[in-house]
Amino acid sequence: RAAVGQTPCEGQIAVKGLSSSAYLGGSGGSVAGDTLTIKHNSGFSMFSECDREEWRPEAIAQLSLLGKAISFDVDLSKVGCGCNLAFYLISSPAHDTAGGFSSGDDRGGQPPYYCDANMVGGQWCPEVDIMEANDQAFQATPHNCESPMNKQYSYCDRSGCSQNT
């Protein structure tokens, strides 16, 4: 089922270069064509299929970016100092010790199957912070994780190897 206040399929978003449709699930924003407008304390996940009733791990979009580029435009003018607008990629969905999908049981408000390099949703997985920024600073941070066992990660480098400007 959907997390409280979060919709598993908020709307379709146009993503240049994807061979299939992309859908966003989450809360606190709106989608119009290829534009996502997001509000404070909000977040979205990208899906390859739309299911308005539940988060399905096999529908979480898997991007093949090796040898490719990703680009986006962002307006940081209203993201003040002390705030962080983040655009990041995670190796979701999370997996349990048997290698099956894990919706998690200590998600802290994150949607089912969420994972990241800081174990925010209660589960580890690789993360690349492409942008953590506001109107004063910009930082990118790749995070390294230990090799998984049965697709499950047991530890990731929380601080990562950041570069900021």
Span 74-100, pLDDT tens digits: 999 999 999 999 999 999 999 999 999
The stretch 128-150 carries a mean pLDDT of 95
Q: Which one of 10, 54, 127, 146 is the catalytic residue? A: 127
Q: What pLDDT does 2 receive?
A: 44
3-state secondary structure (DSSP) of residue 140: strand
Catalytic (active site) residue 132: yes
The confidence band for 1, taking pLDDT boundaries of 50, 70 and 90, is very low
Is residue 96 within 8 A of residue 63, CB to CB? The reply is: no
The confidence band for 165, taking pLDDT boundaries of 50, 70 and 90, is low
Q: Which helix (H) or strand (E) holds 12?
A: strand 7-13
Average pLDDT, rounded, for the chain: 88
Torsional sign, CA 87, 89, 93, 98: negative
Q: Tens of pLDDT along 92-131? A: 999 999 999 999 988 888 889 999 999 988 999 999 999 9
In angstroms, rounded to a whole number, what is the distance separating the alpha carbons of residues 115 and 104? 9
Cα 136 to chain centroid distance, Å, stands at 23
Q: Which one of 10, 49, 53, 132 is the catalytic residue? A: 132
Q: Tens of pLDDT along 19-36? A: 778 888 888 888 888 888
Take residue 85 and report the two structure tokens written for it. 């607008």
Determine the residue type at 59. A
